[in-house]
Amino acid sequence: MLLLEGVEIVDTFAEAFPITAARVLITAANPKWAQTAATVMTGNATSVIACDCEAGIERTLSPDETPDGRPGVSVLVFAFSRDSLSKALVNRVGQCVLTCPTTACYDGLPEIPKDRQVPVGAQIRFFGDTWQSSKKLGDRRFWRIPVMDGEFVCEDKFGTVKGVAGGNLLLMATNQSEGLAAAELAVDAIRALPDCILPFPGGVVRSGSKVGSKYKKLKASTNDAYCPTLRALVPSELPREIGAVYELVIDGLSADAVSAAMRAGLHAACRVPGLLRVTAGNYGGKLGPFHFQLRDLLTK
């Protein structure tokens, strides 16, 4: 049996898959409005099962880290393809950042070659109704779109990279409060790391899913093997002492970023006495090529 801080670690792996990613830098006149725009932009972006993208706040940015010297927020956005990512970025920047007071929007991966960039400001500029103008600084083009509090500045194109989605941990605890305490500690540890996000609300998933459903039109349904109320009705993975399970889902710009996040989350969660077991979700290697073995995460 594998143990960490007295918590049983199931000898299994989390299975993840490749996905296309972009980094968006949002700045504003003050941190409040940058955070507001980032929060709204990342809404309804928990899972590509039913959302146009998976997105989350990576970290806050000091003025010396942003292109225009203002406070900012870094957002990571993930989608299945470059085309679908481009559509999600245009829609979300256009509806959630352009509309937010004092904001501007920049590419957070400017070093990416042009053949892997997608148009964002190049599409949003049409909102300017011919009054928009462009400015080029080196190899980067920016659009200035007139709005009622001045101008919205948005980069013409955004770089994309191949990231990794679906890294995960399943935290099994005696009850909700102890399980949530373990999950919250894990979230705090993961959010301190770069190049990754936790796309679900507050970084925690209560509604873990399995592939397929008895309802033919659904792609996914409740992970009944981990639902405490169904323990007597289905082939359950839960011993009697487990009263609640929370999942952490991690997307990153690289496999190393996801692995580091899982390691940090695992070690943080296992400090909570009520956490009894940790496992991970996989589909026997059929979902994706990235397999994060929990036993490899036991050492820091």
Q: Is 77 helix (H, G, I), strand (E, B) or coil?
A: strand
- Specify the residue for token string 């507050």: 202
Q: Say what the pTM is.
A: 0.96
CATH of 18-161, one of 3.30.70.520, 3.30.420.40, 3.10.20.30, 3.40.50.300: 3.30.70.520
In this prediction, residue 244 carries a pLDDT of: 98
- Specify the residue for token string 């990231």: 163
In this prediction, residue 115 carries a pLDDT of: 95
CATH of 2-15+165-297, one of 3.30.70.1400, 3.30.70.520, 3.60.21.10, 3.10.105.10: 3.30.70.520
As a whole number of angstroms, the distance between CA 27 and CA 104 comes to 5
In this prediction, residue 114 carries a pLDDT of: 94
Q: Is 136 helix (H, G, I), strand (E, B) or coil?
A: strand
Residues 142, 135 contacting (CB under 8 angstroms): yes
In this prediction, residue 285 carries a pLDDT of: 83
Domain assignments of the chain as residue spans, ordered by start: 2-15+165-297, 18-161
Encode pLDDT of 276-287 as tens digits: 999 999 988 888
As a whole number of angstroms, the distance between CA 256 and CA 196 comes to 10
Q: How many helices (H) and strands (E) does the chain have?
A: 5, 18
Give me the residues of the chain with pLDDT under 70, please: none
Asked, colleague to colleague, whether 2-15+165-297 and 18-161 share their fold, the answer is yes
Residues 204, 274 contacting (CB under 8 angstroms): no
Q: b vs e for 158-183, b when ≥16 Cβ sit within 10 Å of the residue's Cβ?
A: bbbeebbbbbbbbbbbeeeebbbbbb
- CA angle 274/249/34 to nearest 5° reads 110
Residue 110 CA to its chain's centroid (Å): 20
Residues 192, 48 contacting (CB under 8 angstroms): no
Encode pLDDT of 128-169 as tens digits: 999 999 999 999 999 999 999 999 999 999 999 999 999 999
In this prediction, residue 189 carries a pLDDT of: 98
In this prediction, residue 127 carries a pLDDT of: 98
In whole angstroms, how far apart are CA 161 and each of 86, 228, 234, 272? 12, 39, 41, 36
- Which residues, including other chains, have CB under 8 Å from residue 40's CB and lie 6 or more apart? 96, 100
